[in-house]
Structure 1
Amino acid sequence: MTGKYGRSALWEHYSRTHVTGETTRELAGFKSGPPNFKMALWDPKPNGVRYLKTLIYNLAEQLSPAAKDALRRIRHREVGDPITVRVDGEPVCLDYLQAVLELEFVSRHVKLDGARVVEIGAGYGRTCHAFLSNHDLASYHLVDLDNSLALAEKYLGTVLTEEQFAKVGFVRIDEVEDFFADGRFDLCINIDSFAEMDAATVLAYLALVDRTCRYCYLKNPVGKYLDKSLDSHSQGAELVELALRTGLARDVLDIHDSSAVAEHATRFVAAYRPGPAWTDVDGSRALPWSYYWQVLYRRLRP
């Protein structure tokens, strides 16, 4: 330390590297740069996991008692080594935190015990895992690309009981039309993947939903963004251009402007309605993301 009230060795280092004489001469930009990253904020670039864990922790503390109970019923969530925090003695990761929020939203309106569920674009199967762990479904079918289905089959075969896994079906995209031609479902789920499909593909799936399902739960972005500060376009300009052309909600907006999100949410709900015989029963922003919207549609007539 320099003098009785002087700097520690640590702050001696920071005074040379972050809060330097040069950086203190101008106010422009100092709150999103090195000085403030040592005075008030952690630099988000090297501290991404710290911020992610903080987000998970804060959201987990706000879960309703019912959602916390639902989370506890989902066994083997540690498979795959997720990034977790521990709240009230329970490990929580962002995937399953979202899953219980989705389950809570849907179950307010849909009787899930005995339900036949189909999920389009199911990823590795965490939604299926959450639903089957909390309700006695009749069946749960996953529709996806081959590589994703292979991962989901391996994962769900590991985390589900034999009885639960026996209710799960895996549908390849070249089997989709035959599968829907013979099926009737109480609930269709799409989380995130419609926003990554070509518009014609989305419309084809919605036509199948219109003919075969009673309820449809969608959770997707209300639009696109071009804010390079969020991800540095780290996967390249070509991939950004590809992403801008997918889905039915393709307007570019400031995804951290609540008014812009609310305006585009109205368009989102209209764009993804499966058909004229459907109404939206409920809708809201889908935590934790500022620009994701969740909506539950119900068919008005058989």
Structure 2
Amino acid sequence: MDNMYDRSPLWDRYGRTQVTKEAVADLANFKSNEVNFKLALWDPRVNGVRYLKTLIHALSSGLSAANWTRLRNIRNRTLGNPIAIRYDGETVCLDYLQAVFEVEFMSAGVELDGAAVVEIGAGYGRTCHAMLSNHDVADYHIIDLENLLTLSSGYLRAVLDDEQFAKVHFHPVADVAALFRDHRFELCVNIDSFAEMNAETAHAYLARIAESCRHLYVNNPVGKYMDKSLDGHSQGNEVVALALRTGLLRDIVDIHDNRAVEAQSRKFVTAYLPGDDWRCVAESRTVAWPYYWQALYRNDR
């Protein structure tokens, strides 16, 4: 009967392989190694999807009624097989959660119905999709690199209806000067791409925005980081070196320190101000990522 309370075959294995006598005797690092990965924490090195889905669930549980409405208005969100969860019967992925938070922030300071919008670097088009699904914008222009225009045009053609898609216009970077010369925009949007451009390119865009836009929304990281524990620099040292040389904000920041991020955000707000006639009318940390900041600027001329 004494054996009734002995370890299971599973924990017999753990006791020989991960939670060994030698391992539990060392208190210096046990909370960041295999011991604690079997006691209280799933190993983050191999449980990325588990943690991503947990993040999506946590954000969904706190989503406002207005943002649930925004999300439900966006049809065909599951195209592309996103990593997603089900919450109250709704399929939810992180991309479109971020999109509704972005649209919420922008719509609080800009009248989007009837607005002409230009987005610099749209990825596959999630923000355009979210905005057109919730607001009757006049037209939406996307500037991007050739391969990304192929992706966004194909994706948006598939997820938008004919009337919505007719409002979307795709422009290669070679057409930037002509586009900003010939059009006036109520809003320019940049999400996570200014930080990956050469600084000269970002400054050139800001100069165009200063001349041709009424508002600018920016959502980008506050700086650079060198925490190899996040991904083991899996893409190689060359990619790390290239990333450190891009963007307007290249200070190395402890992105896991909210006070350090808050302090660096002052540089962020200044760096993206398009011109002397502009002012920042709203700013905040983004919802999902603690080292991303968002700001809305207005031209007061």
TM-score strictly above 0.5: yes
Matches for 1:209-220 after TM superposition, within 5 Å: 209-220=209-220
C-alpha separation between the residues in 2 aligned to 1:201 and 1:157? 29
- Equivalences for residues 141-290 of structure 1 within 5 A: 141-290=141-290
Counterpart residue number, 1:28:
28
Q: Which runs of 4+ in 1 moved over 4 A?
A: none
* Paired amino acid for 1:155: Y
SS class of match (1:229): coil
Aligned to 2:56: 56
Checking the alignment, whether the CA contact within 8 Å between 1:278 and 1:299 is kept in structure 2 is yes
Aligned to 2:131: 131
Give the drift of 1:119: 0.2
Q: Which amino acid aligns with 1:197?
A: M
The answer (yes or no) to whether the contact 1:2–1:8 under 8 Å persists in 2 is: no
Check the 8 A contact 1:192/1:220 in 2, yes or no. yes
The two structures have a TM-score, normalised by structure 1, of 0.98
Where does 1:82-101 land on structure 2 (aligned, <5 Å)?
82-101=82-101
Residue of structure 2 in register with 1:45 after alignment: 45
For 1:12, the equivalent position in structure 2 comes to 12
Question: Partners in 2 of 1:231 and 1:249 — Cα distance?
Answer: 21
Distance 1:275 1:3 in 2: 76
Distance 1:234 1:2, change over 3 A: farther
Spell out, residue by residue over 1:5-34, the C-alpha distance to the aligned partner (whole angstroms, 9 max, x if none).
111111111111111011011101100000
1:96-153 Cα offsets, whole Å, 9 max, x none, are 0000000001111111100000000001100000000000000000000000000000
Task: Report the Cα distance in structure 1 between the residues aligned to 2:270 and 2:3, rounded to whole angstroms.
Answer: 67
The two structures have a TM-score, normalised by structure 2, of 0.99
- Give identity over the alignment, percent: 60
Is the contact made by 1:118 and 1:143 (CA closer than 8 Å) also made in structure 2?
Answer: yes
Root-mean-square deviation over aligned CA pairs: 1.0
Number of aligned residue pairs: 301
Give the gaps of 5 or more residues in structure 1: none
State the one-letter code of the partner of 2:88: D
Q: Is the 8 A contact 1:280 1:297 kept in 2?
A: yes
Whichever residue aligns with residue 211 of structure 2, its letter is: R
Q: Secondary structure at the residue paired with 2:273?
A: coil
Offset of residue 2 of structure 1: 8.0
Q: Which runs of 5+ in 2 are unaligned?
A: none
Secondary structure, aligned partner of 1:22: helix
> In the alignment, what sits opposite 1:79?
79
How far apart are residue 196 of structure 1 and its match? 0.1
- Once residues 64 and 278 of structure 2 are traced to their aligned partners in structure 1, the CA distance between those partners, rounded to angstroms, is 30
